[in-house]
Amino acid sequence: MTSSCKTGADKTINSNYKFDTLPLPIDSATFYFKTKPNWQDTTVNAVDSFRNSWYSKMLFAMKEPVLKNYNGEKEVYRFTWLRTFNHPVSVRLESQNDIVKLFSKVCDGAGGYEPGKIIFDTTINLTQKQVDTTNLKLDNAGFWTLQTESRDTNGLDGSEWIIEVYKNGNYHMVVRWTPEKGTNFRAIGEYLFSISQIRNEMTGRDQGDY
């Protein structure tokens, strides 16, 4: 096993196996995404400092890896679901060397406030079929050409749907606030959630988005 340390906001630990372990943050100061000056800025794969701090706090609490600088052999698909009043959720699909794994995590806090602690953390083995279906849904949404942010439909309460993909040396992230049911972008997150073993995260509220 080899390891390396980086300083500043990109501090991570790297480990390499047949099925690589992705970079994990050393501390909570790590930013998971590139930062842009303000939300109106159209820089690709970047969010403003407020959202970067918010999203990063949630992902760090779920002990998720940083994907923005990954440059390895894996394909990685991650859905982060931050509902204002409900538990933060992360579902991450990874494929490498004919091995496919799905990592699912839930914290007991609220996505719009504090993340709390992990109450659900499981890894299951899947097949290429799930990877192919995920890619089909990405294609249906035109994922790789979507703007990173679209804030035309923002509101006070709802949910942040954050989709990140690393594939063939390319990384892209797209964030939408409470995407409408039936839309192709929403279908990506819904599918990744559906193949996870998370239970009871969409019950108790009509829309499941708050």
Distance of CA 10 to the CA centre of its chain: 17
Give the pLDDT confidence score for residue 72 in this predicted structure. Answer: 92
Pairing of strands 21-25, 34-36: unpaired
Q: Which phi-psi region, left, alpha or beta, contains residue 116 (left: φ > 0; alpha: ψ -120 to 50)?
A: left
Phi, psi for 80 (deg, rounded to 5): -110, 125
Q: Where are the domains of the chain?
A: 8-194
Average pLDDT on 76-87 reads: 96
Taking the model in full, what pTM does it have? 0.88
Give the pLDDT confidence score for residue 155 in this predicted structure. Answer: 59
Give the pLDDT confidence score for residue 210 in this predicted structure. Answer: 62
Q: Which candidate, 74, 58, 61, places its Cα nearest to that of 113?
A: 58
Asked if residue 156 has pLDDT above 70, the reply is no
Q: At what angle do helices 128-141 and 184-194 cross, to 10 degrees?
A: 160
Asked if residue 131 has pLDDT above 70, the reply is yes
Identify the residue with better confidence: 129 or 26: 129
CA dihedral (51, 122, 74, 134) positive or negative: negative
